[in-house]
Structure 1
Amino acid sequence: TQPNNWRIEKRMVLTRHAIRFSSDCYREGRYVLPANVASEEERQTFISEQSQLHTIYEKMLYLQVPMPKAGQVNKSVLDFVDQLASDFEWIGSTSQDLRGFREVLDRASQRTFNSPSISRHLFLALCQLGEYNEAEHALRSYLHLVGLISHGWEETHTHGEALAVDQNGISMAVSAPRPDILDEDVRGDHDSIGNIKDVEGEETLHMLQVLIAAIKMYCNELVKSVDAVEMAEIAKELYQKNRRSISPEIAASLYRAVGVAYGLLGGQTFDPEVRPTYHKKALSYLKQSLDMDNQSWETYYQLALQQAEMHDIGHAIQSVTRALQTNPSHLPSWHLLTLIVSCPVQGDFKQALKTCEIGLQQIELKDDHDESEQFMLFQMTRTWLLYALNGADSALASSETLFSSFGKISVIPEASQSGCHDMVLSGSFGNLSDLKKNRERSSSSASNASRSNDISSLRSGRTRSTSNLAAKVSAGLLSVQENKPHHHHHGLHLFGSRSTSKNKDSPQGSNASNPSLAEPYDTKANNSTSSFQSMSTSITSFQSLLQPSYIPTKPTARAVLRRQRSERILSDLWLLTAQLFMKLGKLDEAKKAVEEAEHVDWTHNPMVWCVLGQLLLASQEDLEEVQAAFDKALVIDPYHVTSRLELAKSYLLQKNDQMAEGLLDTLTKSNGWDCAEAW
């Protein structure tokens, strides 16, 4: 308790020290619970106490602190935000807490001018929240403020040659890489990135933290390889200019991120001359990361993925084994090892199935959406292995259990307005009739197919990915290839959520809850006892500053992406069932399964129409109708490997060797370079 006649400055000092003391005690295990409070309630008690202290301090802070003049820094506001951000990892546990924290940052930004630290906290909070579109804007703002990019860079960095294609089939310009900076080149400050002139003196470590988080966002979530590599190049140059002040652990994490970014770019680059250079760079940076920290299982896992992508199977087995020795509960590593053992170079399906079973026993599923996705994909790989060893009947029995498991990932709480599709009993092929019968095809339509060999994206090493290799294995197990979406989710294991006080009794009135309306304060009024007594009345009806004043009904970008992946997995489950029915000669059952897949995801999954074309071909339907299905798959994904391959085979059946050769030639020169059947 504090006497009512204390001035606000004195109360603020005591509250600030109380916040720091309480935080330090909890982190160091010295936190003392109030009397009659059970030890099991320690964390909740700390959250309640710390949230209340931060709420009280924020109220006093904005009563006391005026708007800064040009060139000035409200250090007390920045210190408050930094302390809250530090405590947030302990007191924030839900997406609503993250939204409340974001509103705190919004209020703080109104008392500071273009603060890099506020922008940094905002970007990291938006990433955690899953608001990736807003996070991109916050990222650009931060990089401008600290001088890492300029307006000139924004205008010219997309002027490079369009060598890569994103997951939507849009060509992307790849900017030239920055040259490496050797130790002897480093002399004092460097200006080539930009002059870091902010008066707050943003630390290099914080800038690297933001850049690594940005690489993760672009690789794992948004699958934008060009943007990921741009952030990687900026981060690499920044590190090389300040390497003496950066720890080996941070440097290793940075180079791992750079390697993953280049691996993703290699997967999205279809130029046969340029693509190998990106893969080699990815391999080089991952090895440099291991040189700095040879105990990191994340780096061994990413190195194994890159080596498998480059068909260096022997070294890939060694790398993924090292990853599993350090972290035997990492599901994507088990999935990767299973796929490597079953690939054509090894071809040991029995050992692959045994590895799969061991991996499934090692995994203890948590209440985590991403891990549930991985588990489903691993189970689908197991089904294909059962088909290879025991036939379609055994695999079909296994696939039935997958639908019940799907419920673990089909509920996405964030997407309040959009649930996943139910598994329905009827579908429609009506969309197929919309295709024009008179199609004009040329060999140019066969340009640049995408390496679509995913079962789906494996999350939590949202990988570059084990899922890419999964389809290659299934392609070897079935003559009906099970190549999956071409979304190369290159994964990272690099990183292990406005005032709500609207009390009318507050002297601030609406300004207390809406600082944007606040006018500069009168110092005498702020220091008066009556002013604080009036304010303290509002605190008695406590409302945490982490309680947001507004909860949007629109789902976050993360929720939308999760829903899309869930729909893709369900659609692929139906297609898996359809292909097994086709192997058994049960074409009517296969047609029903394809109808279900179409109902779930007919607009985004090219395999729906590819499998339909295969089914129509097996049913001896007219080749024009078969080709219409393959064409529709290529409308969804112009670079879908399996659809281009099947379309070429249909031309061979028509004795149209010229069209088939054009398709296959383009396919093998682009993302189908590793498709043995195309060669």
Structure 2
Amino acid sequence: MAGKAAKGTNRLENDIFKCRDESNWKKIQELAEQLMQRGTGPQSEAMASFFIGESKLEQFLEEHPPTEANINKAKTGLTEAKRYLNNCFTEHGAKEIVEMKSVKVGYTKYRWHRTRHLTVKRTRCGAFLVPLAGVMTDGHFLLAKLLYAQGFYEEAITHLDSGGIDRLEEKTLSNRILKILAESFAIKGLCLEKVPLKTTSKTKAANREDQIVSYFVQASDLALKYLQEVEKSQGTVGGVVPTGTAVGTVATVAASSSPLPPNTEYRIGTVLESVLQRAPLLMIKSGKLRQAIDQYRNVLRAEETSSTQSLRQTMSRQLAEVLLRGVCETNYIDYEPRIEIKKQGKHWRPNKYSGQSLFMPKTEYEEVLLLLFISEAMAVRNAVLDRSPEFQDARIHSYNNVVAVYDLLVFVLARLGQFQTLCESFERAMKFSFEEYHVWMQFSLSLLSSGKHLRATLMLKECARLQPHNSFPCLLAAKVCLENLGNIEQGVEFAEEALNREKRNPQSLLAQCHLVLGVGYALMAEQRRPQSKRAEFKASAFQCFLRAQSADPYFHLPEYHLALHYAEVRQLSKAVSHAKRALELNPEHVHTLHLLALLLSAQKQHGEALQLINATLDEYPNYLNLMYTKAHLEDYCLGPEEALLTSKQMLLQWKTFYESELKSDFAQTGLQRVTSCNRGSFHVRSGDFSDRESGQSIAAAARVEQALSEALQTGAGPLAQLQAQTGTAGGGPATGPREKRGSQTLWLLQLQVWLLIAELYLKMEQLSEAEACILEASNIYPLSHQLMVMKGLLHEMRKEYYDAKTCFQNAVSINPLHVTALQHLGLVYHYLGSSQLAEKTLRDAVAIDPMCHQSWFNMGKVLQETGDFDSATDCLNTAIQLEMTTPILPFSTVPRTLE
């Protein structure tokens, strides 16, 4: 009977040790109670008490983690567990175990078990030959954990010291003992944090901090080692269960169709999770940033387990934040694992990834982006998509994790100009961002920065729907429509909606709303005919600018647009006054400086205007619009030879832009940042191109030109015939358009420079040089309406009126609002004897821009030839009056900017 009882006891003990490694505490409690009933002596009862106390402690802490909020619950709920654990330290229990040390082993049949780093022999009768440190040490460590949960920190430290936590020898341990040790080191550090020092010595305080950090680091290593060993024993690698393996709950979770992210059976608990993250934070707090970064790297380099995936995501983001906030490129030290010192013994340290194929970042941004992409991949994979109420908390938690990563990605990638990569990241975020304004707005801004304005407008429209009281999305969409898309009507609609929202819910954007709406009305005025409709929109724009000025008297842009309005109606003194006020508010606003130079030239102070342009170019040497105006002022003041030198400088500057663009993956953004003008190429025109083209009409004409030019390059039949009809300026065939790399904006800039040089050569009557410049421009966009105008001017100087007429007609076909083409087309009609057609064409030019003196002058010449002397006199008198206030370049050269 005694043999059968011993055999049953052995089976129970084996099951208990197995369940301990699996953390199956309910089963352990049942088996321990059976062991106590079948106990063969006091030592068996002591062991059973230990197992029951351990199971009760762990079950309670699973439901009530050891936090300050649960201290009162722990004081009442852990009483029974504490009583069972204290039984291990009673005088009777300790005496029985100590007496077993003197028993001689005389049996041939025995088993070896590993309960700790110490060996336990079990005799045939079932008696334990356990050194006192065996169960006693485990009991001390578990009692310390219990006392920490109850808030008795000093008593917990006493038990940890009694268990010899600082004297343990590193050896191979079972999974359960690994976790007990990890928690013991963590609790020792946490208790030292809670217990105040009894001295004010700074040295002892620093030593205490170092001691706490060392305990946390040791606990972190043991925790990671424990999780790796658990997965290894269950046949999983990196949290993946091999095919055909049934691993209880792990396999069940892997095959679950739950909308929640996969969970793992083996959790290290809140104590170890907090310690893993607190160790580097304490190092940072004590000023040891380098050691903190190394600790982060060591944790992240440990072989991944399913239980550490969430931790890896969090610590990847935290390390990225530390590198961004505390490290600069000059003091960054890359990670070199090959120089690590290999200490003896690896039983308590986690396995780490190693090999020649690992990617090692060499710069700060490489490491930050690697960390953020790793964190993003994990966050997106674990995002909760189910919108059911029961998953709301989990969904919010996972969403906040992803948003934190994306905010950091925005910060880094925007600094590097990698907006396309940022857009791709937000594409992945869309699947779990339903009705989330923050992500939609970030995505919209990324699309804007990458040049995808149309899609950005759709995103902003959705943002406006998500927050019906927020005026910012509508305001930003209006700016995009006006500045980038040329969709003036929709831009005005967005601006009106933004203004209505701002009036209902003020957000300090009232001046901005009035300003954007005023710019929209001003652009609509340039597109409207007849004159009465145009005057109506101009008056509305003027009122909006006044309201913007009243809403924010210290905002420079309303002053700038008021100055531009007064300049266009030739009230120069008021325009100069508002321009100077705008410069007082913002002395570095380049468009106001440009406008002031044009106002000086309109007052016939060309020398002062040239001085102002030169002074502005000293501050903005790369701004091509200023150089363009400088060339025309030099042509007027110093002659075309001096202007040619400035034009050559413009070509050199263009070359610099082009080379920098080819080196960048996102060149257009960089170009806009350098030149400080989104629409500069569409506003650079020659002095005779005094047209009233709006951004919409010019952008549309440019798109038509590009499409026609590309079609011509492919050899399309009708287009090839058109090119053959127009020919080059000298009548020969044009060279085929070269294959262009780079943005359309950049090539349009070069086109304008070549046309400027051709215009200067025409003034110098060097027709062959002008023809060569026109040929260069033809290689860029052979069907540009501005290029056709320049060809027509060359034919007109050669008195080849039929060819000139064809060129001007082609230009008007592409852009019906091009005033210069209409002016010269009317003259050519007059030269060819079609006076009525000439008069009609010139009247169209006057209707488009009634402030252009050249149109009135040309119409006066035509009416004089037809014998209508009274009308001719009125036209010529109007031309004289307008010429007295005409600038060197039309005021429309200055953009209606919103920046």
Task: Give the Cα separation in 2 of the matches to 1:401 and 1:34.
Answer: 38
Question: Which residue does 1:241 correspond to in 2?
Answer: 504
> Quick one: distance in 2 between partners of 1:573 and 1:318?
32
Deviation at 1:618, TM superposition (A): 1.0
Of 656, 667, 670, the residue aligned with 2:845 is 667
Q: Whole-Å Cα distance in 1 between the matches of residues 309 and 550 of structure 2?
A: 48
Summarize deviations over 1:340-385 as a string: whole Å, max 9, x none: 2112xx121111111111111233x5xxxxxx4xx11211111111
For each residue in 1:180-239, what CA deviation from the matched residue of structure 2 results, as whole angstroms up to 9, or x when unmatched? xxxxxxxxxxxxxxxxxxxxxx374xx422222212222222222112111111111111
Aligned to 1:220: 483
Residue 792 of structure 2 corresponds to 613
Q: Which runs of 4+ in 1 moved over 6 A?
A: 7-27, 70-73, 414-420
Larger radius of gyration: 2
Q: Would you say 1:488 and 2:695 are equivalent positions?
A: yes
Q: CA deviation at 1:409?
A: 2.7
Are the structure 2 counterparts of residues 53 and 352 from structure 1 closer, same or farther at C-alpha, using a change threshold of 3 Å?
closer
Matched, 1:384 2:642: no
SS in 2 for 1:601: coil
CA distance in 2 between counterparts of 1:569 and 1:678 reads: 27
Equivalent of residue 337 in structure 1, options 596, 605, 611 = 596
Deviation at 1:608, TM superposition (A): 1.2
In the alignment, structure 1 segments of 5+ residues that lack a partner are 147-201, 366-371, 421-455, 476-480, 491-559
How far apart in 2 are the matches of 1:72 and 1:410?
A: 53
Q: Partner of 1:448 in structure 2?
A: none
In 2, Cα distance between the equivalents of 1:89 and 1:340?
42
Match of 2:816 in 1: 638
Q: Which residue of 2 aligns with 1:135?
A: 456
For 1:678, give the aligned amino acid.
S
Q: Give per-residue Cα distances to partners, 1:405-453, cap 9 Å, x unaligned.
A: 2213334748999999xxxxxxxxxxxxxxxxxxxxxxxxxxxxxxxxx
1:39 Cα deviation from its structure 2 partner: 11
Q: What is the deviation of 1:642?
A: 0.5
Q: Distance in 2 between matches of 1:282 and 1:72?
A: 52
CA distance in 2, matches of 1:404, 1:624: 37
1:6 aligns with 2:268: yes
Answer 1 or 2: which has greater helix percent: 2
**2:624–2:650 contact (8 Å) kept in structure 1:** yes
Correspondence for 1:322: 581
Residue 440 of structure 2 is matched in structure 1 by 119
Match of 2:748 in 1: 568
**8 Å contact 1:77–1:108 — kept in the other structure?**
no
Matched-pair contact (CA < 8 Å) for 1:77–1:111:
no
Q: 1:14-93 alignment to 2 at 5 Å?
A: 31-33=325-327, 37=331, 48=367, 52=371, 55-56=374-375, 59-60=378-379, 62-63=381-382, 65-69=384-388, 74-80=395-401, 82-84=403-405, 86-93=407-414
Secondary structure of 1:585's aligned partner = coil
- Secondary structure of the 1:386 match is helix
Note the 1:388-537 alignment, pairs <5 A. Answer: 388-411=636-659, 413=661, 460=676, 462=678, 475=687, 481-483=688-690, 486-488=693-695
Alignment of 1:107 with 2:428, yes or no, is: yes
Q: Does 1:301 align with 2:563?
A: no
Counterpart CA distance in 1 for 2:391 and 2:539 is 48
**Counterpart code for 2:831:** L
The percentage of counterpart residues that share the same residue type is 20
Of stretches 404-413 and 565-574 in structure 1, the one that deviates more from structure 2 is 404-413
Taking a change above 3 Å as real, the CA distance of residues 304 and 23 of structure 1, as seen in their structure-2 partners, is: farther
Tell me which moved more, 268-277 or 636-645: 268-277
Distance (whole Å) between structure 1 residues aligned to residue 771 and residue 615 of structure 2: 35
What SS does the corresponding residue of 2:695 show, helix, strand or coil?
coil
Q: Secondary structure at 2:822's aligned position in 1?
A: helix
Q: Is the 8 A contact 1:252 1:288 kept in 2?
A: yes
1:573-652 paired onto structure 2 within 5 Å: 573-604=753-784, 606-621=785-800, 623-652=801-830
- Does the C-alpha gap of structure 1 residues 107 and 217 become closer, same or farther in structure 2, counting only changes over 3 Å? same
| Structure 1 residue 258, shift from structure 2 partner | 2.2
Q: What do you get for the CA RMSD once the two structures are aligned?
A: 4.2
Aligned to 2:511: 252
Do 2:375 and 2:405's aligned partners in 1 also have CA atoms closer than 8 Å?
no
Bigger relative contact order, structure 1 or 2, given CA contacts below 8 A and separation 6+? 1
Partners of 2:805 and 2:799 in 1: CA distance: 13
- What's the counterpart of residue 348 of structure 1? 605
Distance 1:6 1:123, change over 3 A: same
Residue 597 of structure 1 aligns with an amino acid whose one-letter code is: A
CA contact (8 A) 1:236 1:254 kept: yes
**Cα distance in structure 1, aligned partners of 2:742 and 2:546:** 32
Change (3 A) 1:209 1:50: farther
User: How many corresponding residue pairs?
Assistant: 486
Q: Give unpaired runs (5+ residues) of structure 2.
A: 1-216, 225-266, 275-307, 336-362, 698-739, 857-899
Distance in 1 (CA, whole Å) between partners of 2:567 and 2:403 is: 42
The one-letter code matched in structure 2 to 1:293 is: D
Q: Aligned to 2:531, which of 272, 285, 294? A: 272
Q: Work out whether residues 681 and 748 of structure 2, in 8 Å CA contact, stay in contact via their aligned partners in 1.
A: no
| Mapped contact 1:332–1:460 kept (Cα < 8 A) | no
Deviation, structure 1 residue 630: 0.7
Report the CA distance shift for 1:314/1:277 in structure 2 as closer, same or farther (over 3 A).
Answer: same
Matched-pair contact (CA < 8 Å) for 2:450–2:666? no
Task: State TM-score, norm by structure 1.
Answer: 0.62
Cα distance, 1:76–1:315 mapped onto 2, change above 3 Å: farther
How far is the alpha carbon of 1:126 from its aligned partner? 0.6
For residues 96 and 6 of structure 1, the distance between their equivalents in structure 2, rounded to whole angstroms, comes to 41
Note the C-alpha offset of 1:664: 1.9
1:358 aligns with 2:605: no
Q: Distance in 2 between matches of 1:328 and 1:410?
A: 30
Answer whether contact 2:410 2:422 (CA < 8 A) is retained: no
Match of 2:492 among 211, 215, 229: 229
Match of 2:855 in 1: 678
Deviates more, 1:60-69 or 1:267-276: 60-69
Please state how far the C-alpha of 1:644 moved relative to its aligned partner.
0.7
Q: Which amino acid aligns with 1:59?
A: M
